Amino acid sequence: MINRDGFSKSLWQNEAQAELAQRSMPGYTFDVVVIGAGITGVTTALLLQQSGKQCLLLEAHNAGFGTSSGTSAHLNTLLDTPYPDVISKFGKQKAMLAAQGAAEAIAIIKGHVDKYAIDCDFAYKTGYLFSQNERESQQLTEISKALEVVGISAEWSDGIPVPLPFDNAIKVERQAQFHPTKYLSALLRQYIADGGNYLDQTAVDHVDSDGAVQRVSAGKAIYQATDIVYATHIPPGLNLLHLRCAPYRSYVLALKLARDKYPDGLAYDLKEPYHYFRTAIHDGRPLLLVGGNDHKTGHEAKAEHVFSELEAYARKYYEVQAVAYRWSSQYYIPADGLPYIGHLPGGGNHQFVATGYSGNGMIFGTLAGRILCDLIVSGESPYTTLLSPSRIKPVAGFSRFIRENADVLKHFVSDRISQQSLTELSELAKGEGRVVKYQEKQVALYKDEYGKVYALHPVCPHAGCIVQWNSAEQSWDCPCHGARYAATGELLNGPASRGLRHIGLDD
């Protein structure tokens, strides 16, 4: 079983976790340390290792712990950011390059599947985009024209593979789908077979750099490398990227249908947020994946309702026999619509990052592997001018952001709370969490399934925002930059680098 950063189980977690991690390292000096073993980290490490760089891949939990096991694993060149927007913000040539990059990512995945005979249900599928009102039809016409401009061949279609009413639809061939954790495990196995080093359950505490040498402290050891890659979905620490990437949650249902009307193809409506559909094979049987209802992380108090709404939406069009799986997952929307892949802002010449993938994580995570490998090996990538984080202009308020963070940390107080007050405050159902007021301060309370109550400081240690309870994933989520914590306070996802502080209990 693959562990994930959430309480709900995704369709992809039922894979046996390959026992791949080493427990000791052959030395402490590497060419590259890659931090994070999701699709970005594993692809980057594999390509670097095969290019002659000796790599160490470090993972705080297990491979695929983050969004790589929470994706719906669509592989499309129809990016989340509509091409008319990409053209208007980046120009025609760069929009063409973005389309080329998406196609290259699918080709890289297919190349790996073929070369290593990976059994991961990879299949080319036709992708459909459909409108349901006049405004969306106009939008679809503009998208269709923009697709032609960027070199993606799209045709108008009389039908769509899902039983929803629609006005107009376009279809694009050679989109694809796969099983993400089967693919990821196979890639990791190959990386190790190629001589790569891998430690899981090894969180990075901090990184020091004198420019030429990066010193990575992790698991009581210090590893040195010429280059490091933050493949952690969003980099840790305080960085311009945190002001340029907004965290979102997306919800997915895997449904068993009463009659086999599973779609043969990928389908997307044009709502905001949009819904997406595909079929996946699980234990030899098809399941319908329906996703959508996205919202900003930490901005939906009743995430349980989001699942109910999504299920009601699916039941409007399908005879659902059972909800086999349901889960939510996180992604980051970049300010200008395309991801940031390249040198870490403020990190010098030897620290690299990839983030801001929107809902195209499998595509951009794979492309990031290619780009980061090229940058580290040769110093160049055809995608540098398009995707480099250096395109971020100075961000107003960034120095205030740093200052305020320092203030918040100064004001961390070691409050205590009496057992009696805790009992009065904790009118919670088992499995419920809530931020409550106690003596003019806020306290995060969680009652576990045995009735034990945990009291935590709800102040996110990254930059001081107040976390919110996520009932769907039983986690504390930070609305500012997306850090997430287990119900009992342990860190699940950065950019924070430690968990929520516990509040002491007096008798």
Q: What does the binding site for ligand FES look like in residue numbers (CB under 6 A)?
A: 460, 462-465, 478, 480-483, 495-496
Cα–Cα distance for residue pair 409/497, rounded to 1 Å = 13
Closer by beta carbon to ligand FES, 203 or else 323: 203
Closer by beta carbon to ligand FES, 460 or else 472: 460
Closer by beta carbon to ligand FES, 268 or else 469: 469
Identify the three-state secondary structure at position 38.
coil
Closer by beta carbon to ligand FES, 263 or else 494: 494
420 burial class (0-12, 13-18, 19+ CB within 10 angstroms)? Answer: exposed
Cα–Cα distance for residue pair 426/444, rounded to 1 Å = 10
Minimum separation from the CB atom of position 460 to ligand FES (A): 3
Cα–Cα distance for residue pair 223/204, rounded to 1 Å = 10
Minimum separation from the CB atom of position 151 to ligand FES (A): 38
Q: Which residues make Cβ contacts (< 8 Å) with residue 469, sequence separation at least 6? A: 301, 432, 433, 434, 435, 444, 446, 475, 476, 477
Minimum separation from the CB atom of position 456 to ligand FES (A): 14
Closer by beta carbon to ligand FES, 434 or else 481: 481
For 362, the token pair is: 């499998």
Closer by beta carbon to ligand FES, 261 or else 295: 295
Which amino acid, 465? C
Closer by beta carbon to ligand FES, 339 or else 482: 482
Minimum separation from the CB atom of position 298 to ligand FES (A): 8
Identify the three-state secondary structure at position 290.
strand
Minimum separation from the CB atom of position 240 to ligand FES (A): 13
Minimum separation from the CB atom of position 231 to ligand FES (A): 18
DSSP per position, 395-459: PTTHHHHHHHHHHHHHT----EEEHHHHHHH----TT-EEEEEETTEEEEEEE-TTS-EEEE--B
Closest CA to 224 of 59, 42, 31: 31
DSSP E strands, 61-203 = 74-75, 123-131, 154-156, 168-177, 197-199
Q: Which residues make Cβ contacts (< 8 Å) with residue 93, sequence separation at least 6? A: none
Closer by beta carbon to ligand FES, 244 or else 370: 244
Minimum separation from the CB atom of position 221 to ligand FES (A): 27
Minimum separation from the CB atom of position 79 to ligand FES (A): 26
